[in-house]
Structure 1
Amino acid sequence: MCKKTVIHSKVVFLLATILSFTVHAQGESGAEQATSDLMPDSAAPVVVVTGTRHEKDDALINDFVSIDEVAKAPNSVVKLLDNQPGLAANGQPGLFQTINIRGLARQRVQAYISGMRITSERRAGIAASFVDPALLSGAEVTQGPASTYYGSGAIAGTIHLQTRQEDRPWMMLGYHADGNEWVTAGGTGDDTYSINLAYRTRDNGETVTGTPKNNQFSQHSLNFVRHFELGNYNLDWQVIESQGRDIGKDNLRFPESRITSYPEENHLLSQLTLSSDASWFARLYFHDQDLVTQDIRPENRINRVTTNSLDIGFSLEDSWQQGDWKGIYGVEYFGRRGVDSVEEEIDIATRASQSYWALESGEENESALFATINREFNSWSFHSGIRINYLSQKSDISESLSDSYTTYFSTLKKQLGDWELGVSYGTGFRFATVSERLFNGTTARGQVLGNPDLLPEESESLDLSVSYAGESLKFEAHGFNTDIENFIERISIDDDTRTFRNITDGKISGWQYKSEYIASNSISLVLAGQGISGHDADGNWLADIPAERNSLSLLYQPDNWITQLSYVKRSAKSKAGDGEVPLDAADIIDFKLGYRINPDWRIQFVIENLLDEAYFSSADDLATQATGRNFGLSIFYR
């Protein structure tokens, strides 16, 4: 039986099980559901699957960004987050574009969905875009070295996507003019279960100058949660399933020299979480995924790469308190099995084909012990933590490799009336991936040699903060500096051979701020911005450093109306790193107008890039221009 048949069999079995649980849940729930006209459509947390283990505002910069907060109608995680202070879009645009946190991106940003760690073999980084934004309530973003909490890869921080969980029927229908994009989503639930589905499809769109973009795709997503109360214990079972088809990769090579797409993307995730009234929490999950990448070189050849993997995660954590001291401690395991990558080359003229194994039966085991300690005394607060990590990796053609790393952080804050001062120091790390170490063989693109001697990337970060929380005004500003050693990059040995090496050290420094002024019950203003610079040990500009940016958002909510105007002033970027080009300045305005027709129905109209500005969303040298002025309309029922 082929892998795809196995995945589809699992999906059928799980859907049948979900339906049986749903019918049972409906039968046992006779309670009348309370309603509130003021409750946002995406905020009905009837079942809670905990995603983050850090306490908000304790040690890390962390903000929750709701789907309803942004002026755009996000069709990807990047659109939801890219204008937040400290964050920026990174790499080539499209569904698989990724997020940059404080000048670091790719495998240095760790992503989670409902607490489940997400991985990717793509060098561009982890794009957790297989769950439709319509099935999300929002995302919690941590900034700074989060490795003590979350392990390898959290050098820059983490993105925790929180799935939508409804306690009553809901649905939405949305349309965007660019690419003729449609989304249909809906679901239902009560206090014991929630089931939600979404289907989104779009054709290729255009840049502001009318150039075709290769950004078509179709995708369906499903999210199901079932809640059980077992005496003093709470048990939650969650299933996420997603299939994407014909996902275009939007870059400057399209369509003359190269047409790159992802014909298939399949994900199946399931987890059990168990908690008790005594505050301990356990999680067990798996993530089965496969991705097909197709690269067409017109009048020459087609290269098709299929990657597969099964991820398994387990964690057990508990809180502790001794007098005025408290914290959490726990153990965590993350494993990968069957990490395979095989490439097929097809000659367009003769249709002859041949296959090459790039990685066969890769395996990874990462385990850790962690603990934190916190105390508040008078107007001071102290937070610290430590994590001990161990890693092993192997494949069918390699011996077992091992590595270890210990990371820690400390934060001290001082309250001065409505003001608060803070200083934080922490370390972060990233182990080399299975592919970077064990990918070894001849492919259609030449000889690729993994490097088993790669050292972990290491970081040291210092953050100074000041914040103010008054009755109508809130303000927060940070200055930060991050030193990184042993950057892992792919390099060319000769014209036909590539490998991975620790090639440089770097220093990244910057500032960011966010202020919110509530003028009245219906009017609020948010002003935010960031500026980041980064150089390697030889003084060369590092890649992935975003342009300086400042933004202003105005929200006006009279009665049943909501009006939001967002203005982003992005400065020019004159210096570019490897694989990048300079960026011109840009002025980007988004507008949203919504009206609540009655307690159950509301309608929303958006205009993205109101000024029809011609700009690039990132400095990647293959990135295409952004979409021009784009109109969208959505209808919501709940």
Structure 2
Amino acid sequence: MSFPPLATSARLCIGVIYVHSFLGTTSLSLAAAAELEEVKVVGRRDTLISTLGSTTTDIIAFDEQVSLNRTVGDWIEQLPGVSLNGQGGLFQAYSIRGFSRWRVRTELNGVPIITDRRAGNSASFVPPDLIAQVSVDKSASSTLYGSGAMGGVVSLDSRIPDGRSLKIEGADNGEQFSLSALSGSSEGLSAGLSIRRADDADDPDGDSLNTGFEQVAGTLSGVYALGDLDVSYNWLGSAGRSIGKSNALFPERRVSSYPDDNHSVTQLELRSGGDWFLRGYHHYQDWAADVERLGERRNLTRYSSHTLGGLFQANTAILAGTGSVGLEWVGRRGVSIKDKEYSPDGELIVAQELVDGDEDTLAAFADQQWVVGDVSVSGGLRYDRIEQSTDSSKSSDGQWSSSAALDYSFAEGWSLRGELASGFRFPGLSERYFNGTTPRGEVLGNPDLKAETRRSGEIDLRFAPLSSSFDGGVSVYYSDLEDYIERYPVGPELVSYRNLDGASVQGIELDVGFQTGPVNHRLSYQWQEGEDDEGNTLADLNPPALHYFFAWEREQRGFYSDLSFRDSRDEFGADEIPLDSAWIWNARFSQRLANRWRAELFLSNILDEEYRSTADVVAPLQPGRTVGIRLEWRES
């Protein structure tokens, strides 16, 4: 397959890395422990807000994942309370504690990634090789990030570690191939390049899945001093071609794909030590969806938009406490969705613009924490005002978010946290105004949708005694929802949106780890249920699952295994079907060959299990057993 635009981008990024390699770099620092970290963050966080002092955040670094490694969704699926959602392939989305699609805020270097795909934001345009680490905030106080974060926040960090590296890998199922080159410097320019492609993979029955794609992405970042101020910048650009949209209707009834998927994300930040920072950003996206209903018609939909924004945040100390205040503006310009419909013989039937709109959200927030002995009390407040407009309509709304938490350390390494929060989500432009065809099917917008609201509570018990090799905890949570926006079937292959009077979601997460010498064990479990006021099960819930992570590490080699049992789920929501149980096993073996070389053997779906990753009515089977080899050179 020819790929001229991507080849041009590749040559440009390689040139930047080549020039940078002569400027000098420092040695690469690698994380030693290959375990899933659950970090208790106390104090400042380099993100939107400091949010209430101590909040539990799960973090996965680039060398800690054991997965299919297609997107960030594969990384975070290992965490308790997180599961995949929607259909399959490169655009696979994720669900956090039963909240998915536009209820989860996805950030790249602090830039909110906002798209109008009905499945939500998967950040599929960011190759895993350009991700340094991913953090997932599941706490109730994530609502203080504003609309779109009532279900949690997934933050991607693309900062490149110091040093240079080159990685090449290939896998058998789908003839997957990827090449990446990175050059990082903590005091100057950093650059990275990723090239990857794949043909259609096979499921365990040997049937072809519509999962092929081609993608080239590059990133540039840097930091320098401007007097007493620090200036930093990040840019990531990505170009995808011929991206298959895997679903259960392929290939007999429907063939869906994204002919192209282009993104450019730019961020510039000015920071004054730990006193304040000012951030500006821009995300441009342009992509197309091609949906062919065999023997009926073909729809080619074109989407483009600009996301512009700014964030100012300053530290505060009120009544001997610590916290911050800030202002945030997120603007969307030129949100355009155009559709062309063709007959089976290729004749153009109709061309129309389905959405042409703008959106502005302005928010003010504040949070504060007070510590007295072993007890800390914290609280936060935020107000958002939104305006949406199209050629034919205009709407506005305002909502408050709030959060309060109490932390108590009652013994060595033991802590108890209680948290209450309220949040909301404004309906998106597509939910209100889009009437057309998507790779999933026909969608009918509802301009009368109201903002959905959430009141939630959480109790979190953690233990990590310094004198013990054990650590872990348990979290219990409950959410009460009003005007919950549900996607529901109107007719065959036609869905729309409506507000439910009320609904609730509740669940429990268990997590325990044990380390002895070079061996680390971690066991986690999740359970959840959710229903509306009439007793109907909600969609997008996490299925019950038990995860066992094992890591054995020596100086020269390591073995990492992630085995999970996902229980069956007979109760399901709108536009879903029952989900069978499944055993899913992924593993990775790493061996150092020389001072700077390392080889890895990785295996996915080792048991060749026949399973669907989600309960979505058109979700396909996941790829069958996959074996791959990775060879990496890193500057010592």
Tell me the TM-score normalised to structure 1 length.
Answer: 0.91
Q: Alignment partner for residue 406 of structure 2, among 389, 393, 412?
A: 412
Q: Output one character per residue of 1:86-136: Cα deviation in whole Å (capped at 9) or x when no partner.
A: 100111111111111001111111100110000111111111110100000
Question: Quick check: 1:593 aligned with 2:589?
Answer: yes
Q: Output one character per residue of 1:46-92: Cα deviation in whole Å (capped at 9) or x when no partner.
A: xxxx8623459935331111121122351211111112101001111
Q: Alignment partner for residue 270 of structure 2, among 261, 267, 274?
A: 274
Q: Alignment partner for residue 386 of structure 2, among 388, 391, 409?
A: 391
Question: Quick check: 1:501 aligned with 2:498?
Answer: yes
Query: What is the root-mean-square deviation of aligned Cα atoms in Å?
Result: 2.8
For 1:496 and 1:173, locate their aligned partners in 2 and report how far apart those are by CA, in whole Å: 41
Question: Quick check: 1:179 aligned with 2:174?
Answer: yes
The one-letter code matched in structure 2 to 1:33 is T
Give the corresponding residue for 2:455.
460
Give the corresponding residue for 1:47.
none
Q: Alignment partner for residue 484 of structure 1, among 481, 484, 493?
A: 481
1:578 Cα deviation from its structure 2 partner: 1.2
- Report the secondary structure of 1:626's partner residue: coil
1:1-400 correspondence to structure 2 within 5 Å: 33-34=26-27, 52-55=47-50, 58-72=53-67, 74-190=69-185, 191-322=187-318, 324-349=320-345, 351-360=347-356, 362-398=357-393, 400=394
**Contact 2:132–2:161 (8 Å) recurs in 1:** no
- Report the secondary structure of 2:612's partner residue: coil
**Contact 1:358–1:442 (8 Å) recurs in 2:** no
Q: Output one character per residue of 1:158-180: Cα deviation in whole Å (capped at 9) or x when no partner.
A: 10011141332211001111100
Taking a change above 3 Å as real, the CA distance of residues 156 and 575 of structure 1, as seen in their structure-2 partners, is: same
**Contact 2:267–2:282 (8 Å) recurs in 1:** yes
Taking a change above 3 Å as real, the CA distance of residues 164 and 632 of structure 1, as seen in their structure-2 partners, is: farther
For 1:594 and 1:441, locate their aligned partners in 2 and report how far apart those are by CA, in whole Å: 48
The one-letter code matched in structure 1 to 2:423 is G
Q: Output one character per residue of 1:399-431: Cα deviation in whole Å (capped at 9) or x when no partner.
A: x31100000001101111121111101011100
- Report the secondary structure of 1:293's partner residue: strand
1:36 Cα deviation from its structure 2 partner: 5.7
- Report the secondary structure of 2:125's partner residue: coil
The one-letter code matched in structure 2 to 1:125 is G
For 1:19 and 1:316, locate their aligned partners in 2 and report how far apart those are by CA, in whole Å: 35
**Contact 1:148–1:370 (8 Å) recurs in 2:** no
For 2:278 and 2:266, locate their aligned partners in 1 and report how far apart those are by CA, in whole Å: 14
The one-letter code matched in structure 1 to 2:605 is N
For 2:30 and 2:326, locate their aligned partners in 1 and report how far apart those are by CA, in whole Å: 41
**Contact 1:308–1:338 (8 Å) recurs in 2:** yes
Q: Which moved more, 1:265-274 or 1:298-307?
A: 298-307
Q: Output one character per residue of 1:353-374: Cα deviation in whole Å (capped at 9) or x when no partner.
A: 42022112x0000010000010
For 1:636 and 1:266, locate their aligned partners in 2 and report how far apart those are by CA, in whole Å: 28
Taking a change above 3 Å as real, the CA distance of residues 462 and 278 of structure 1, as seen in their structure-2 partners, is: closer
Question: Quick check: 1:510 aligned with 2:507?
Answer: yes
Taking a change above 3 Å as real, the CA distance of residues 34 and 182 of structure 1, as seen in their structure-2 partners, is: closer
For 2:543 and 2:16, locate their aligned partners in 1 and report how far apart those are by CA, in whole Å: 51
Q: Output one character per residue of 1:367-414: Cα deviation in whole Å (capped at 9) or x when no partner.
A: 10000010111110112100011000101222x311000000011011
Q: Which moved more, 1:57-66 or 1:303-312?
A: 57-66
Taking a change above 3 Å as real, the CA distance of residues 355 and 443 of structure 1, as seen in their structure-2 partners, is: farther
- Report the secondary structure of 1:169's partner residue: strand
1:450 Cα deviation from its structure 2 partner: 4.2
The one-letter code matched in structure 1 to 2:541 is I
Give the corresponding residue for 2:426.
431
Q: Output one character per residue of 1:500-524: Cα deviation in whole Å (capped at 9) or x when no partner.
A: 331342111110021111112x111
Q: Which moved more, 1:251-260 or 1:346-355?
A: 346-355
Q: Output one character per residue of 1:534-592: Cα deviation in whole Å (capped at 9) or x when no partner.
A: 11110011111121111111111123111112211111111111111112221122121
For 1:556 and 1:278, locate their aligned partners in 2 and report how far apart those are by CA, in whole Å: 39
- Report the secondary structure of 1:128's partner residue: coil
For 1:573 and 1:218, locate their aligned partners in 2 and report how far apart those are by CA, in whole Å: 35
For 1:443 and 1:424, locate their aligned partners in 2 and report how far apart those are by CA, in whole Å: 39
- Report the secondary structure of 2:427's partner residue: coil
1:211 Cα deviation from its structure 2 partner: 1.4
Aligned length: 615
- Report the secondary structure of 1:108's partner residue: coil
Q: Which moved more, 1:259-268 or 1:167-176?
A: 167-176
Taking a change above 3 Å as real, the CA distance of residues 350 and 84 of structure 1, as seen in their structure-2 partners, is: closer
- Report the secondary structure of 1:83's partner residue: coil
For 1:443 and 1:557, locate their aligned partners in 2 and report how far apart those are by CA, in whole Å: 46
- Report the secondary structure of 1:106's partner residue: coil
**Contact 1:59–1:424 (8 Å) recurs in 2:** no
Taking a change above 3 Å as real, the CA distance of residues 447 and 553 of structure 1, as seen in their structure-2 partners, is: closer
Taking a change above 3 Å as real, the CA distance of residues 332 and 374 of structure 1, as seen in their structure-2 partners, is: same
For 1:84 and 1:147, locate their aligned partners in 2 and report how far apart those are by CA, in whole Å: 17
The one-letter code matched in structure 2 to 1:364 is E
**Contact 2:323–2:366 (8 Å) recurs in 1:** yes
Q: Output one character per residue of 1:177-210: Cα deviation in whole Å (capped at 9) or x when no partner.
A: 1100000000213220100010110000111111
For 2:584 and 2:444, locate their aligned partners in 1 and report how far apart those are by CA, in whole Å: 43
**Contact 2:482–2:502 (8 Å) recurs in 1:** yes
For 2:319 and 2:14, locate their aligned partners in 1 and report how far apart those are by CA, in whole Å: 45
For 2:170 and 2:496, locate their aligned partners in 1 and report how far apart those are by CA, in whole Å: 44
For 1:494 and 1:630, locate their aligned partners in 2 and report how far apart those are by CA, in whole Å: 38
The one-letter code matched in structure 2 to 1:355 is A
**Contact 2:257–2:439 (8 Å) recurs in 1:** no
Give the corresponding residue for 1:628.
624
1:348 Cα deviation from its structure 2 partner: 2.4
1:541-556 correspondence to structure 2 within 5 Å: 541-556=537-552
**Contact 1:56–1:62 (8 Å) recurs in 2:** no
Gapped runs of 5+ residues in structure 2?
A: 35-44
Q: Output one character per residue of 1:299-349: Cα deviation in whole Å (capped at 9) or x when no partner.
A: 332111111111001000011124531101100000000011111011122
Gapped runs of 5+ residues in structure 1?
A: 1-7, 42-49
- Report the secondary structure of 1:628's partner residue: coil
Taking a change above 3 Å as real, the CA distance of residues 601 and 38 of structure 1, as seen in their structure-2 partners, is: farther
Q: Output one character per residue of 1:433-481: Cα deviation in whole Å (capped at 9) or x when no partner.
A: 1122233689999997644432111001110111101231111210111
1:515-526 correspondence to structure 2 within 5 Å: 515-520=512-517, 522-526=518-522
**Contact 1:279–1:319 (8 Å) recurs in 2:** yes
For 2:538 and 2:225, locate their aligned partners in 1 and report how far apart those are by CA, in whole Å: 51
**Contact 1:73–1:606 (8 Å) recurs in 2:** no
The one-letter code matched in structure 1 to 2:580 is D
Taking a change above 3 Å as real, the CA distance of residues 551 and 35 of structure 1, as seen in their structure-2 partners, is: closer
The one-letter code matched in structure 2 to 1:477 is V
Give the corresponding residue for 1:578.
574
For 1:498 and 1:467, locate their aligned partners in 2 and report how far apart those are by CA, in whole Å: 42
For 1:367 and 1:117, locate their aligned partners in 2 and report how far apart those are by CA, in whole Å: 14
For 2:29 and 2:448, locate their aligned partners in 1 and report how far apart those are by CA, in whole Å: 59
